[in-house]
Amino acid sequence: MSNSVPELAKGSKVLVSGASGFIAVHVVDELLKDGFEVVGTVRSAAKGDYLKDLFKGKPFSYVIVEDIGKDGAFDEAVKGVQGVAHTASPFHLKADDPEELIRPAVDGTIGILKSITKNGSDVKRVVVTSSVAAVAGDKTAPYTYTEDDWNDVSIKIVEEKGKDADGGHKYRASKTLAEKAAWDYSKENNVSYGLSTINPPFVFGPILHQVDKPESLNTSVANFYGILKGSKKEEDLPGPFGNWIDVREVALAHVKALTVPEAVGERFIISAGPFCIQDLTESILSIAPDTPGVPKGKPGAAKETTDPSKMTVCSGAKAGKILGIKYRSIEDSAKDMYDSLKAKGW
């Protein structure tokens, strides 16, 4: 990466890969609100047309990229754009062979960077959507993860166990290796654009993307929907469940990482902190007290359960300082997520 910091001016054209995804649609929305022109890559015309309708009257267009892992998949898409937000990546935990997850994740990330090298002479800034899966390893609580941490433990487990490795480790290894590959490529090729990565944990918040049935919801929102439908019992509520963030903060972080000079060459954990299922059930019951099947647990117990001095925390402080991200409450995020699900009649 060159030493000068390339500037991305308002009104520039930005490519958003995987534009029909849960996070990506919010990234597109935030870019359009901030005065950028957006080109999204989608796997089908149906997905693209949904977005065209969603962003009707705004400078949005789409191109079809059916397979992000295919050699040269983004060669045409990167032409004439000044910024790239690469959000596209496979997400499922059912792969038998870990390479089924790792290879598409790495190839999709390196592939778009190669396309930029080949045809993206106008590109000034690139943001890659990674995950705290590439950050958080096996540290014992209490521990605060920062951008200096890498999840090398999942890579090691997958190398040792192969197909017998846990699906979660296969996924986390794929995210870690894909992000490492992006940084390695940028350094080895002394790229002319500024690179940043965004590393969110569980992502909640309202859905904007095309989803026609609850079974097709993205993983984090599907967990919330399951709670609404009675999937949790009293005994499931107290334990810490991980760290969380609202999708709108993740989207804003992508825009800031594309535009803030100090973001170049940096990773950013976008995290509002730890949560437990009790947080979500309390939020649901405060909105709709008569929701059947949602356990009450012990109201107020969430604060004790998610005490940072007792668990592993993913710190969002750096993103707050450099990108100016302010984190909303889980109650507000849950309410908006609830409302967006109910708007679909679910």
Could you list the active site residues? 175
Task: Give burial (CB, 10 Å; 0-12/13-18/19+) of 192.
Answer: middle
Residues 6+ positions from 300 with CB-CB distance below 8 Å: none
- Ramachandran sector of residue 54 (left: φ over 0; alpha: ψ -120 to 50; beta: rest): alpha
- d(CA 216, CA 184) in angstroms, rounded, equals 34
- Print burial letters for 316-340: b (CB count within 10 Å at least 16), e (below 16): bebbbebbebebeebeebbbbbbee
- φ, ψ for residue 203 (rounded to 5)? -110, 115
Report yes or no: 55 and 28 within 8 Å, Cβ to Cβ.
yes
Strand partners, 42: 64
- CA dihedral over 288, 291, 293, 299, signed as positive or negative: positive
In 3D, which of 285, 288, 314 has the Cα closest to residue 300?
285
Alpha helices in 67-195, H assignment, sequence order: 99-119, 152-161, 167-188
CA distances from 120 to 1, 82, 93, 125 (A): 15, 8, 33, 11
Instruction: Give dist(CA 194, CA 50) in Å, integer.
Output: 31
